[in-house]
Structure 1
């Protein structure tokens, strides 16, 4: 199985600028005027230009204000503090303090398009510290 990540955004150029600056991703291919493939993560990320107010899944109206979703993306980093500075400089908003556990450190972010992200730094054996 191959996994792809698709992210709806209202402004493709602004999204490209954010994701390349915040997470070090690189533009790869354009798949028409409203789709940009980004590489540099463990899966390709496709930015899909979809205007606010357009109709999404199940007839929902797209709204790019901060919203809750049961799905978010964790970006695993070697240095959480440096990655947080980089993401904030690119336009991310920090949502709460950095939290620490025996498996590592995590901080919640929102991108400029309302999507939730986490920066995650594993420590020690990572999730193996808490696995049964």
Structure 2
């Protein structure tokens, strides 16, 4: 039997708020979910599902895993994240291979917007 990656689970105090942010950012609708949880995507989708599970405590410290979101325009991507309730951390890296900016969702989970050089 082959193992396969099917999803990423994010701990959230406000599941609905954080899931709505990611749903709009990635244009992925919520699928069937457990009560109190939100799943973006459906089982069997070509992309892994994002799962938002409720927890009582807010995040503390830097997470050791984050998502990379490819964008066509970094400035437009930053503006979209901010308009959806996220924030730009101020961290930007310009590499020969492209640009990476560090963002945070409404609960502070960091992720990167990436624009690859062609």
User: What is the TM-score when the length of structure 1 is the normalising length?
Assistant: 0.74
CA contact (8 A) 1:92 1:111 kept: yes
Is this contact kept in 2: 1:22–1:88, CA < 8 A? Answer: no
Partner residue, 2:32: 29
Q: Distance in 2 between matches of 1:71 and 1:2?
A: 18
Q: Secondary structure at the match of 2:11?
A: strand
Q: How many residues align?
A: 112
Equivalent residue runs for 1:30-109 within 5 Å = 30=33, 32-39=34-41, 42-52=47-57, 63-64=58-59, 67-109=61-103
TM-score, normalised via structure 2 length: 0.81
Matched, 1:14 2:17: yes
Q: Secondary structure at the match of 2:32?
A: strand
CA shift in 2, pair 1:104/1:41, >3 Å: farther
For 1:76 and 1:118, the matched residues in 2 are separated by 8
The structure where helix makes up a greater share of residues is 1
Deviations 1:5-25 (A, max 9, x none): 000111122122211233322
> Greater CA radius of gyration, 1 or 2?
1
Secondary structure in 1 matching 2:76: helix
> How far 1:115 moved relative to its partner?
1.1
Question: Which SS does the other structure have where 2:100 is aligned?
Answer: strand
- Unaligned runs of 5+ residues in structure 1 are 53-62, 125-132
Q: Does 1:111 align with 2:105?
A: yes
Q: Aligned-pair distance for 1:101?
A: 1.0
